[in-house]
Structure 1
Amino acid sequence: MMTHTEPVLQLLVPLLAGGWALHAIRLYRRLHCVRRDPLTGLLTREGWSRAADRVIRRHRGATVLLADLNGFKAVNDRHGHDAGDAVLAAAGERLAAWCGRNDVAGRLGGDEFVAVLADDARLRDRLADLAELLRQPVAHNGEQLRVGASIGVARLAELDAPTLAAALKAADTAMYQIKGRTRGGRRLLVPALAAVRRLPVAIAHRFRLAA
């Protein structure tokens, strides 16, 4: 025999279930946004690290790349934060477009970007292409904003400990070695892109295109 409370419960159960489902969807979207950089749309450090770990587990020939923009502070100081944001957004868009289907790009913060590549078969050519993309001018309020990029790379297969942490450390070291070659902030002459493509891999990993 049905009591007078049972019809009420039968109505409340689907409503409560629907409410929890809606809450779960909103929570998922919120967490998803946290893992995405709002300016560039790239994964943040946490989101990228999770994705990069998955790539590394599936691809033994994976490569980790760190890119730091050269001349970004000068653009920011001279043209303002809106201009700096435009440069960062453009760099993020170009890095994402450059990445392949199995590659994952992210922004660690500031003007530092990261990517994990599933396949490094064409690494030298791809690095040259990325450097060229990042140094293309960014149009903003009638100005052509220009930056360069220092790029450090670490192949997982060449590391004693083939982990994401070790790869990030190695790529970071390579990147700052490149950045340290400047003289008082002045740009240095660098090899042409065609020449970079012909360099041995160990050297080609460590080229710098100045702003």
Structure 2
Amino acid sequence: RSSGPHGAAGDSAEAWADRTIRCIFDMVGAGRGVEAHMVATAAVTAFCELDDDDQQSRILAAAAVTGLGVGELNHAFDLAVRSMVLLWGGLLSPDAAASTANSLGTFFDRLGAWDLAIDQFETALSTLDPTTHTGALRAELTIVNLVMCLHEVISDGRALPEADRVAHVDRLHQLATQLRGHGPSSTVWYGSLLADASLALVEERFTDAALAAELLGAVRDSMVVREELAWRLAGAAAMLGAQRLSDADHWATAALRLAELGDEFRVPDVLRRRAAIRWALGDQSAAFSDSMAAVEAMAATRSDRIIGLAAGLAHRARLELVRRELSDVSASLAITAARDPLTGLANRRGLDEVISLLAQSQQRASMLVVDIDHFKLVNDTYGHDAGDEVIKACAELLRQAIGPAGLIVRLGGDEFVVVLPDGKAQPHRIGETVCEGVRGYGWHTIAEGLRVTVSVGAAVGAARDLRELMARADGALYDAKRAGRNAVVSVDRRQEPRGDDVYEHLAITRLDR
């Protein structure tokens, strides 16, 4: 606007900053984190043109919070540091210092750095003037934020030094008393209940599980918990999108604690999301465990509506991103117990579910069919125990070659199938890696004189036609075996070798035995 960053004529920079920060956090609470960060970034640019440290520090701290929410961690830390420099300089007005410290406390709380968050909220409280109307409102919010941090620290399960535990409990007592002295706003009511429930759970002198359950039950009705849960889930999604998988897991775990506290009907959904994150991390065991817990949570709620909602959310997620499709499929494998007991890989039931889920995909996909050469001879010569060890070793070599990029299935016996939902994957190169890995493995550790090779057929085509794709990959495998085994043959719907062309192709792709 022509009047500049002061907004309308006559508005002060402080009034404009107040409205901007309120707008930013309203959008965050409504789940519009990306828009909030756009507003915050524009505000940082505008206010940094002014010679006003008070408003700069407030806007920088608010922008740090929104940057964290959209996964821009480096940028968020930079904004937070710039804001802290202004705060520590000691030149800010009490109101600006309190507002800045409150936002920085929220920033550290979102990171799970609760000790730092507590320090910032305490700083905000110490600089506020509760005798003014604005100061009293900010004090209420800051106290509630501080209670939430203390509750997180105490319920996090980490071992606390006894002195810290006693100090936290005593501080909770003080805050609970302060909150009871404020008006009956929903935020204060929530904070008071949470403080009392925390005390009932952890305070040795007043341990009362029944009281805690009653109070936490009342907290479940608070919109504050649901807004916080939405924020945590948005943060987990942003971290996942930015490939910060460990951070995504941390945010999803924080969301799960909030769901268990205040919205039990969201627990299955949160568990499924964390399962997808843990699958992306490569921790299949934890992903399967979360998926099974999600099923049990659904059964516990006995709510067809929630089950339908979870199914709908999972279906939409599968259509949005093929990699997420694979994560959801892998999570659902735990529900159907579709795993091969010898290798821990998915079995034919798992493959059928993948085929069903990708039926509507518009992506291209790749498929490998891998067969152990002369496996019957291995069993006959070295025994079935050695054969089982060969199968397990081949499964592990496939895991190493494929990583989290695809789903590996043991169809039974000595045959494996690999589904690569990324249309840009290079199945022939992956097949060569598998062959070379098997060829170079130390098979003598299983049985003296044992040598193992594999043959691989690879095909590329539309993900929605996985059964037809598998048939073509199986045909390529047959060609590899007919040409002498220990080879990779690749076919593509758009350029598939036929007749004598197959053998010309093999002359290029055959591996030395």
TM-score (norm 2): 0.29
Give the equivalent residue in structure 2 for 1:49: 352
Give the Cα–Cα distance (whole angstroms) in 2 for the partners of residues 61 and 104 of structure 1: 15
Percent identity between the two aligned chains? 36
* One-letter code aligned to 2:432: A
* One-letter code aligned to 1:94: L
Displacement, 1:117? 1.0
Distance 1:105 1:30, change over 3 A: closer
Give the Cα–Cα distance (whole angstroms) in 1 for the partners of residues 377 and 418 of structure 2: 25
Instruction: Give yes or no for contact 1:52–1:104 (8 Å, CA) kept in 2.
Output: no
Instruction: Give yes or no for contact 1:62–1:155 (8 Å, CA) kept in 2.
Output: yes
* One-letter code aligned to 2:433: D
Displacement, 1:50? 1.4
Consecutive unaligned residues of structure 2, counting only runs of 5 or more, are 1-295, 301-331, 489-494, 498-504
Query: Does the alignment pair 1:132 with 2:436?
Result: yes
Give the equivalent residue in structure 1 for 2:379: 76
Instruction: Count residues with an aligned counterpart.
Output: 172
More contact order relative to length (CA 8 Å, sep ≥ 6) = 1
Moved over 6 A (4+): none
Q: Deviation string for 1:18-76 (max 9, x for gaps)?
A: xxx59x69xx998543x110111110011123135546755723101101111322211
For residues 150-161 of structure 1, the aligned pairs below 5 Å read 150-157=455-462
Distance 1:207 1:69, change over 3 A: farther
1:87 to 362, 368, 390: 390
SS in 2 for 1:40: coil
Q: Deviation string for 1:127-158 (max 9, x for gaps)?
A: 2111111222335455353211111111014x
Instruction: Give yes or no for contact 2:457–2:476 (8 Å, CA) kept in 1.
Output: yes
TM-score (norm 1): 0.66
* One-letter code aligned to 1:131: C
Q: Deviation string for 1:89-124 (max 9, x for gaps)?
A: 111111122213231001011100000112344333
Distance 1:129 1:42, change over 3 A: same
1:172 to 474, 477, 489: 474
Give the Cα–Cα distance (whole angstroms) in 1 for the partners of residues 443 and 356 of structure 2: 32
Give the Cα–Cα distance (whole angstroms) in 1 for the partners of residues 512 and 348 of structure 2: 26
* One-letter code aligned to 1:175: L
Query: Does the alignment pair 1:146 with 2:451?
Result: yes
* One-letter code aligned to 2:396: E
Distance 1:59 1:123, change over 3 A: farther
Give the Cα–Cα distance (whole angstroms) in 1 for the partners of residues 464 and 347 of structure 2: 22
Query: Does the alignment pair 1:102 with 2:405?
Result: yes
Instruction: Give yes or no for contact 1:151–1:208 (8 Å, CA) kept in 2.
Output: no
Structure (1/2) with the larger strand percentage: 1
SS in 2 for 1:89: helix
* One-letter code aligned to 2:458: V
Instruction: Give yes or no for contact 1:150–1:208 (8 Å, CA) kept in 2.
Output: no
Give the Cα–Cα distance (whole angstroms) in 1 for the partners of residues 367 and 350 of structure 2: 15
Q: Deviation string for 1:159-202 (max 9, x for gaps)?
A: xx9501101110111101111223xxxx78x79xxxxxxxx996
Give the Cα–Cα distance (whole angstroms) in 2 for the partners of residues 42 and 210 of structure 1: 29
Decide which moves more: 85-94 or 54-63.
54-63
Distance 1:174 1:64, change over 3 A: same
* One-letter code aligned to 1:179: K
